[in-house]
């Protein structure tokens, strides 16, 4: 079976299961067929599995210049998406409680265009993990990190094909705003002279948790006060938010609360480990901060 025949059969199966697609995105890059998005996700997972093995006996790469350009580039893209989504929902007078996908004319078209960039950005963000592998920061490649990065492109491929505007706007808007804060932090933290002035990392995770809770509540509003937006998508969104809230909450507890309690205990005990940390010019708090996991 050639690839064209495979794509045709897969598209036929997906369409019979999901129903008719939104014709406003026909012909858009990567959206007509699912296999490219699926193949990129599989390639990502293979690199996550094989990359650390390849790097095991090799020196880590610094990537400092690339990290600055990459993170600040995603900061600008996230800021663009956030501003355009806010502008689109304001222009279309989008309803917070429920917004259908065919009710705001040109504003819907604006939202669809921005959400395609949002979908595409999830493929770009695979580079987050690749930089971890190249720098041998394998402790940061957690289940949460891989689960979130691997699932988003496929989720948003389906969103773009069936519900590319309307009530889909809210979670993407909040996530774009959080990513402005997150990628700006990581871009600036790649410059050693700026690290002492960067104070908002802990609040990024808090913001992410607030984002997931708000998205779940806003999605639930469309279940209680329906407006024609497909209920199946709403139930899926709520379920996915529950998984992220559980995983990010666990990350927050393990990274900040338990480690914070450990640091306080060490400080009270005047432990030898703390004394050694200071004698080497690095306090345990600073060393722990450098080793904190990144979650996006």
174 in Cβ contact with 86 (< 8 Å) = no
What local confidence, expressed as pLDDT, does residue 72 receive? 96
Task: Tell me the C-alpha to C-alpha distance, in Å, between residue 259 and each of 124, 213, 247, 263.
Answer: 32, 24, 17, 6
Mean pLDDT of 272-278: 35
| Residue 212 tokens, joined | 């997931």
CA angle 169, 173, 175 (to 5 degrees): 125
In this predicted structure, the answer to whether residue 52 has a pLDDT above a threshold of 70 is: yes
CA–CA dist 19, 162 (Å, integer) = 8
- Give residue-wise pLDDT tens across range 166-225: 999 999 999 999 999 999 999 999 999 999 999 888 789 899 999 999 999 999 999 999
Alpha helix ranges (H) inside the chain: 3-18, 35-55, 64-91, 106-124, 126-134, 143-162, 169-189, 201-224, 231-252, 258-269, 272-279, 284-290
85 in Cβ contact with 176 (< 8 Å) = yes
Mean pLDDT of 19-29: 96
Task: Tell me the C-alpha to C-alpha distance, in Å, between residue 78 and each of 75, 182, 258, 268.
Answer: 5, 10, 32, 43
In this predicted structure, the answer to whether residue 281 has a pLDDT above a threshold of 70 is: no
In this predicted structure, the answer to whether residue 71 has a pLDDT above a threshold of 70 is: yes
What local confidence, expressed as pLDDT, does residue 43 receive? 98
Which region among 132-141, 215-224, 259-268 has the lowest average model confidence (pLDDT)? 259-268
Q: Return the percentage of the chain with pLDDT > 70, whole number.
A: 86
Helix 231-252 to helix 201-224 angle (10° resolution) is: 150
* Alpha-carbon 62 to chain mean position: 24
Catalytic residue among 148, 149, 167, 179: 148
In this predicted structure, the answer to whether residue 264 has a pLDDT above a threshold of 90 is: no
In this predicted structure, the answer to whether residue 280 has a pLDDT above a threshold of 50 is: no
Helix 143-162 to helix 106-124 angle (10° resolution) is: 150
148 is known as an active-site residue: yes
What local confidence, expressed as pLDDT, does residue 2 receive? 73
In this predicted structure, the answer to whether residue 284 has a pLDDT above a threshold of 50 is: no
What local confidence, expressed as pLDDT, does residue 181 receive? 96
63 in Cβ contact with 135 (< 8 Å) = yes
In this predicted structure, the answer to whether residue 57 has a pLDDT above a threshold of 50 is: yes
């Amino acid at each position: 079976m050639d690839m064209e025949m495979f794509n045709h059969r897969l598209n036929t199966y997906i369409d019979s299961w999901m129903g008719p697609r939104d014709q406003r995105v026909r012909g858009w890059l990567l959206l007509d067929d699912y296999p490219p998005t699926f193949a990129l996700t599989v390639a990502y997972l293979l690199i996550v599995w094989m990359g650390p093995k390849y790097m095991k006996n090799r020196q880590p790469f610094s990537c400092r210049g690339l990290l600055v350009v990459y993170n600040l580039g995603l900061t600008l893209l996230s800021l663009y998406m956030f501003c355009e989504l806010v502008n689109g929902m304001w222009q279309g007078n989008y309803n917070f409680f429920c917004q259908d996908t065919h009710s705001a004319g040109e504003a819907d078209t604006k939202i669809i265009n921005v959400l395609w960039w949002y979908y595409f950005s999830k493929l770009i963000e695979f580079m987050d993990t690749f930089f971890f592998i190249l720098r041998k920061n394998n402790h940061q490649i957690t289940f949460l990190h891989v689960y979130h990065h691997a699932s988003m492109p496929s989720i948003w491929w389906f969103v773009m094909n069936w519900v590319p505007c309307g009530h889909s706007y809210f979670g993407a808007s909040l996530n774009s705003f959080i990513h402005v804060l997150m990628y700006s932090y990581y871009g600036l933290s790649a410059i050693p002279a700026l690290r002492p002035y960067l104070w908002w990392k802990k609040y990024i995770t808090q913001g992410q948790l607030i984002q997931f809770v708000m998205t779940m509540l806003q999605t639930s509003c469309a279940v209680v006060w329906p407006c024609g937006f497909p209920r199946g998508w709403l139930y899926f969104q709520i379920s996915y938010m529950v998984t992220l809230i559980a995983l990010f909450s666990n990350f927050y507890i393990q990274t900040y609360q338990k480690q914070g309690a450990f640091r306080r205990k060490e400080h009270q005990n005047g432990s030898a480990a703390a004394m050694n940390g200071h004698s080497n010019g690095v306090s345990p708090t600073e060393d722990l901060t450098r080793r904190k996991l990144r979650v996006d």
